[in-house]
Amino acid sequence: MSKQKKSIYMILIILTGFLSFSACNTDLDCYESEDNSYKLAISFHSVDTAGIISDTTLPDLSAFNSDKVDSVYAKSNLHNIKLPLNPMDTSCNFIIETSMNSDTIEFKYKTETILASYECGFNSVYYLQKVIIKNSFFDSVTIINDTINEENRNNLKIWIKERTNFPGDDVDDDLN
């Protein structure tokens, strides 16, 4: 074999090896997540007596599934949460408790399973149809985005019934 043919074969082997390694995608987000379902993102808001809308941090917030067995959040001061929905069902209930009150919220939705990628497998995408507040702590719900298909996108605003200054709120206490 001539030197020129050996050089061409060597270049082809190196090029094939380089392309093989560069084709592997090791920066997949699916390896960082423990499940392939998107979560329902909720933020809490309130209106004071002057009509000023503000983000509301709920003190000692805990969120449970309806049988109070699995805690999603436990005793945290939060103004937004993410709740997992059940891809095998069309509704689920969560109990949200604070140091002052509690409420139960029912979510009704449709589920679609999509192929995220061959490496990551399938994802569950949810289409929120209805939100039912069962007690009296929360006043109302505004659906901002009924398609739950992104981790960093807010889906719901939950409005607190009566404006109360909670620790950590973004309001000026001198105004009240």
pLDDT in tens, 48-68: 888 888 888 888 888 988 766
Q: What is the mean pLDDT of residues 104-128?
A: 89
At 4, is the pLDDT very low, low, confident or very high (cuts 50, 70, 90)? confident
Q: Where are the domains of the chain?
A: 35-166
pLDDT at 126 over 90: yes
Q: Which residue has the tokens 């939060």?
A: 78
pLDDT at 26 over 60: no
Above pLDDT 90, what percent of the chain? 28
Indicate the pTM of the whole model: 0.70
What pLDDT, on a 0 to 100 scale, did the predictor assign at position 162? 61
At residue 9, the 3 state secondary structure works out as helix
Alpha carbon distance 98, 5 (integer Å):
76
Tokens of 53: 């809308």
DSSP assignment, residue 29?
A: G
Q: Specify the higher pLDDT residue, 158 or 150.
A: 158
CATH code matching the domain that covers 35-166, chosen among 2.60.40, 3.40.50, 1.20.58, 1.10.10: 2.60.40
Q: Specify the higher pLDDT residue, 8 or 34.
A: 8
Residues in the chain: 176
Report the candidate in 69, 70, 63, 60 with the shortest Cα–Cα distance to residue 41: 63
Provide the β-strand partners of residue 81. 42
What pLDDT, on a 0 to 100 scale, did the predictor assign at position 174? 37
What pLDDT, on a 0 to 100 scale, did the predictor assign at position 33? 53
> Of the ranges 1-5, 18-22, 27-31, which is most confident?
1-5
At 111, is the pLDDT very low, low, confident or very high (cuts 50, 70, 90)? very high
Q: At a CB cut-off of 8 Å and minimum separation 6, what does 129 contact?
A: 108, 109, 110, 146
